[in-house]
Amino acid sequence: MTDTNKIISENVYALLNKGSVTQKKLAYDLGIKIDTLFNYLKNRAKWDSNVVTDIARYFNVPVDFLYGNPVNANTVSDDKKSRNVPVLGKVECGIPIAAQINQTYDIEHLLIDNASRYKDPFLLIAEGESMSPFINPKDYLLCIDDSAKIKNKSAVVVSFKTEPENYEANAKLYYDLDDNHIMLYSINTKFPPTVHQKRDIAYVYKVIKIIRDVK
């Protein structure tokens, strides 16, 4: 196989590793068979130029980067900071969060700028209007599991224990009342604050970024 084929494979491997994307996930998103992608990567088949273009678009890098040609450093430098983040579900509509965390190859991913600084970030799609205009329906909420970053008035996603291994989640503003209780409140004053016992809460996730107008 040609040197060009090997260069493409090496660069695709690098992007997979940096973006924490599996080969199965990439093949699924590109609409090709996993065996086809595997043969490309192992240099058992010549790379299809259309597939190479699709991979460049998927990882938001120039096609020339995959071919090993010189490119403007600014066009790929953000790759180290960007990260493909899984979209685990919707918030405020009862979809469990925890049950979906390990199903990464079946889940939509979005390339998010500056997400590599966070450990295990994930996205949820906002539903409802209780947090408008701060959080609007269909906004993507970039969340992390880091209790040290959660302060009073932080935007959070709280998942409540409803039955064993099943959770319902809500996006609200957080206020720690005492050792046993928290208050959750909304931007929209039509939705009154609610007080909850900490023992009824499964997880509290910090919302670190609100992403709007995702196409």
Domain locations along the chain: 3-80, 83-211
Strand partners, 172: 156
Q: How many CA atoms lie within 13 A of 24 on its CB side?
A: 5
| Burial tier of 109 (Cβ tally within 10 Å: 0-12, 13-18, 19+) | buried
Is 184 within 8 Å of 196 (Cβ atoms)? yes
Full-model pTM: 0.58
Kindly report the number of other CB atoms within 10 A of residue 59's CB atom. Answer: 23
Q: Could you tell me which residues come within 8 angstroms of residue 68 by beta carbon, excluding any fewer than 6 positions away?
A: 4, 7, 8, 11
- CATH level 2 (architecture), domain 83-211: Ribbon (2.10)
Class of domain 3-80: mainly alpha
List the pLDDT tens digit at each of the 215 positions of the chain: 568 899 999 999 988 888 778 898 888 888 899 999 999 999 999 999 999 998 988 887 888 889 888 655 444 544 456 777 888 878 863 333 443 333 444 567 787 877 877 888 889 888 877 787 778 888 889 999 888 889 998 989 888 876 544 445 678 889 999 999 999 898 888 888 889 999 988 889 999 888 886 55
SS3 call for 146: coil
Is 109 within 8 Å of 84 (Cβ atoms)? yes
| Burial tier of 92 (Cβ tally within 10 Å: 0-12, 13-18, 19+) | buried
From the list 38, 77, 168, 215, the residue with the least C-alpha distance to 184 is 168
